[in-house]
Amino acid sequence: MVDNSIRVITIIGGGTAGWLTAGVIAAEHLANSEQGIEVRLIESPDVNPVGVGEGTWPTMRGTLKKMGISETEFFRECDASFKQGAKFAKWVTGAENDAYYHPLVLPQGYSDINLVPFWQQHADKVSFADAVSFQGYLCERGLAPKQNTTPEYAHVANYAYHLDAGKFSHFLQKHCTQKLGVKHFLDHVTGVNSHENGDIASVSTKQNGDISGDLFIDCSGFHALLIGKHYNVPFISKKHILFNDTALACHVPYTDEQSAIASHTISTGQSSGWIWDIGLPSRRGVGHVFSSKHTTVEKAEVELRDYLRLSRPDIADELKIRQLDINPGHRQVFWKNNCVAVGLAAGFLEPLEASALVLVELSAAMISEQLPATRGVMNIVAKRFNEKFLYRWDRIIDFLKLHYVLTKRTDSQYWIDNCRPETIPEGLQELLTLWRHESPWHQDFTQVDEIFPSASYQYVLYGMGFETQKRATQRRSENAQLADMQFRKNSEMAQKLLAGLPTNRDLINKIRQFGLQKI
């Protein structure tokens, strides 16, 4: 076993996680040639994808490009739209005018100067996001992040996507099987067969018998057929930190085919959770994620329908709502023997900040980039993978919790409990203490490829009214002049882009009709 070459990768489960992972590995390791790695994907014929996670990160552009996917075709087939950040409403005080943006562009001049202390002098006149970034202005007007003359995957303003998860999975399946050489088995897995050393030798299926592999990737969703049911890797609950464990989701049609499409995810705080609102070209995806300890499904549905009534009073009471149960947490390890879990099999926290799909991307990228050449080196790669992803999950948990601990809401037990010190990770508590005296910047995090940059912490902290004490040493005149120049640049860029960019709807219509320029 020790010197066996890794030649065959078998993925259990389709959906977004399975097909993205298959595509990334197949593209990089030439699965469509005789010399390449063979990639097999076994997908149950009657399991529907969860299909709720419709938000991505900007990293998805690079992932699709590496797989050789046309961005034009992606827009045409996946009901995709542009996402330029998130707007958080009613997270601080719960008042009607309580809102802030987490944009996807870095603050102006971010590599050269930390603008926080200079903005704080004018915090009563302009929000942090608007002072250092033009993207909130674009989102407020429903503008796109580029023009149709901008090449595929290039941008004027950094962007991610909103998409239909079901259509995206089907699109990836077609691309992987027709262009990248992935072998697709529509079949039920009925058993797992082991080598003497505990590795998985093959999985038994109803129609195709035993299907072998050198490396198995568990993309079987919450079922976790390999990592959970076969290997019994413990699941580490994070419900004591992130309370939300239930979601109600629905599809909301537009009033007409040319209705405006929001350029951002809208996250609106409720009594015991929050509502997401994602605009696709054909519909909106709206859902309420909440803590069952703090409210009931019936009360949560009332809040969801009240929200829907604001935009669609004519159909708010008729829309079909489905319930999804969430167990916030992740596996103790993700790579065990010759099996690695990706996607929901590895864990899930909550829909906030679209962290689920980016973890799939990052997992697939690391597996592909560090694909063990032989079984003899696999344990070394597995150890590195587990260390890296345990760190990443911890950082995501910290960042998601940050949104809750900064609230000033005391109108329900949910918001009060979220601020209790025993629910806040120790590392986050230390950072919050540090940030009372020094705003987040480049040296606050240890990894080169941090999952959330310090800029994201700035947007949330100062969007939610956090205060960092001013220090005299930061107010040297040359820094003040540089800061003024960056504020001015940002304002000029905002005016220029507001005048020159089309709306989200207009650009998507043009992409569907004419396509984007090829790079």
pLDDT one-digit tens code per residue, 184-212: 999 999 999 999 999 999 999 999 999 99
Model confidence at 402: pLDDT above 70: yes
- Write the CA distances from 351 to 3, 185, 341, 355, integer angstroms: 42, 30, 19, 7
Model confidence at 419: pLDDT above 50: yes
**Residue 470 — very low, low, confident or very high, per pLDDT cuts 50/70/90?**
confident
> What pLDDT does residue 472 have?
64
341 pairs with which residues across the strands? 218
Specify the pTM.
0.96
CA distance 62 to 153: 8
**Residue 239 — very low, low, confident or very high, per pLDDT cuts 50/70/90?**
very high
Taking alpha carbons only, the member of 217, 224, 189, 215 closest to residue 345 is 224
Domain 245-325 in the same topology as domain 8-54+164-237+328-394: no
> What pLDDT does residue 53 have?
57
> Which CATH fold would you assign to the domain 8-54+164-237+328-394?
FAD/NAD(P)-binding domain (3.50.50)
- Using an 8 Å Cβ cutoff, are 129 and 101 in contact? yes
**Residue 403 — very low, low, confident or very high, per pLDDT cuts 50/70/90?**
very high
Where along the chain do its domains lie?
8-54+164-237+328-394, 245-325
Model confidence at 367: pLDDT above 50: yes
**Residue 519 — very low, low, confident or very high, per pLDDT cuts 50/70/90?**
low
> What pLDDT does residue 443 have?
78
Mean pLDDT calculated for residue range 224-241 = 98
**Residue 327 — very low, low, confident or very high, per pLDDT cuts 50/70/90?**
very high
Q: 196 versus 50: which is more confidently predicted? A: 196
> What pLDDT does residue 51 have?
56
Count CA atoms closer than 13 A to 125's CA, side-chain side.
Answer: 6
> What pLDDT does residue 446 have?
67
Structure tokens that stand for 40 in this block: 């097999």
CA distance 1 to 425: 41
CA distance 373 to 7: 8
Mean pLDDT calculated for residue range 216-242 = 97
> What pLDDT does residue 448 have?
65
**Residue 1 — very low, low, confident or very high, per pLDDT cuts 50/70/90?**
very low
Say what percent of the chain tops pLDDT 70.
96
pLDDT one-digit tens code per residue, 79-137: 999 999 999 999 999 999 999 999 999 999 999 999 999 999 999 999 999 999 999 99
Q: State the chain's mean pLDDT as an integer.
A: 95
Model confidence at 447: pLDDT above 80: no
> What pLDDT does residue 476 have?
63
CATH code, 245-325: 3.30.9.100
Compute the Cα dihedral for 52, 49, 203, 369 and give only its sign. negative
Structure tokens that stand for 5 in this block: 């070459």
CA distance 329 to 254: 35
- Using an 8 Å Cβ cutoff, are 15 and 169 in contact? yes
Taking alpha carbons only, the member of 53, 57, 403 closest to residue 249 is 53
Model confidence at 451: pLDDT above 90: no
Mean pLDDT calculated for residue range 160-188 = 97
Model confidence at 139: pLDDT above 90: yes
Mean pLDDT calculated for residue range 318-342 = 97
- Report how far Cα 365 is from the mean position of its chain's Cα atoms: 15
pLDDT one-digit tens code per residue, 496-515: 999 999 999 999 999 999 99
